[in-house]
Amino acid sequence: MKVGFVGLGSIGKPMALRLAAADGIDLTVYDVAPEPVAALVAAGATAAPGVEALGADVVCVMVRDDDQVREVARAVGPGPVLVVHSTVAPGTPAELAAEGLTVLDAPVSGGPMGAAEGSLAIMVGGSGDALDVARPALDALGSKVVHAGPLGAGTRMKLARNLVHFVAFTAVTEAQRLAEAAGLDLEALGEVVRHTDRVTGGPGAIMYRDTTAQLDPGDFWYGVFDHVRALGEKDLAFAIALADELGADVPLAREALPRLGKGLGV
């Protein structure tokens, strides 16, 4: 199987190295920077002089933004399955498909470490036929490949996933302000958070329902989430009271307190 890869940055390079090491894949790469291209050639890939010379059945794209994705896509042209791993605007995959290209939007989650280990989660939008063509490459890149739905669904799933990521990061900065105001060791707090998230699964630990509707009291999950609600409301109330005492700014906690139960469905 002939695979092209464009964009050998901090995530793209280790992804391409996984493809270079995979059985049954003939990899050709392109990047404007010579150093990562040289590293891929040393790993067994072929360097293309330009995107239009990739000569591949499947072209994976991991470039910086929508404009670069469009530039690469138009240079590739119709024929290959274009697999867009970059996180783009929700409408961009359909825009490319309207130009006659066969497109899968397939953003990834797991960062450089997941890329190096081949343990990425890959969220794919597009036709089943196109996914079948690209499947050997995707299986070499990730340990969880999810067909999210039609074209654009992979991007929408990635944006929902990253909403969790970056709202949680903002909540972490809020917790750090509270901890600092309380005279606590922020590095020790970080160790506790990372430790317990490895045990509990972090925010994803509550993501087992197939709907956001309110729960019937007879539903199995009602008792589970009502317990979470009770604990969460208690601890949020205590944290907000401590923040008021110390003069720490915790707007997300104040927003979360009245919204937690409704969001959990109880």
Q: Tens digits of per-residue pLDDT, 196-244?
A: 999 999 999 999 999 999 999 999 999 999 999 999 999 999 999 999 9
Q: Provide CATH 1.10.1040.10 ranges for the chain.
A: 158-264
Q: What does the pLDDT look like over 85-127, one tens digit per residue? A: 999 999 999 999 999 999 999 999 999 999 999 999 999 999 9
pLDDT recorded at residue 27: 98
pLDDT recorded at residue 203: 95
Query: pLDDT category, 146, cuts 50, 70, 90?
Result: very high
pLDDT recorded at residue 33: 97
Q: Distance between CA 5 and CA 12 in Å, rounded?
A: 8
Q: What is the pTM of this model?
A: 0.94
Architecture of the domain made up of 2-151: 3-Layer(aba) Sandwich (3.40)
Residues counted in the chain: 266
The top-level CATH class assigned to 158-264 is mainly alpha
Query: pLDDT category, 130, cuts 50, 70, 90?
Result: very high
pLDDT recorded at residue 64: 96
Closest alpha carbon to 35 in 68, 52, 4, 10: 10
pLDDT recorded at residue 256: 98
Is 262 a known active-site residue?
no
Half-sphere exposure of 99 (CA within 13 A, CB side): 16
The residue from 2, 13, 144, 158 that is catalytic is 158
Closest alpha carbon to 106 in 151, 73, 143: 151
Q: Provide CATH 3.40.50.720 ranges for the chain.
A: 2-151
pLDDT recorded at residue 72: 98
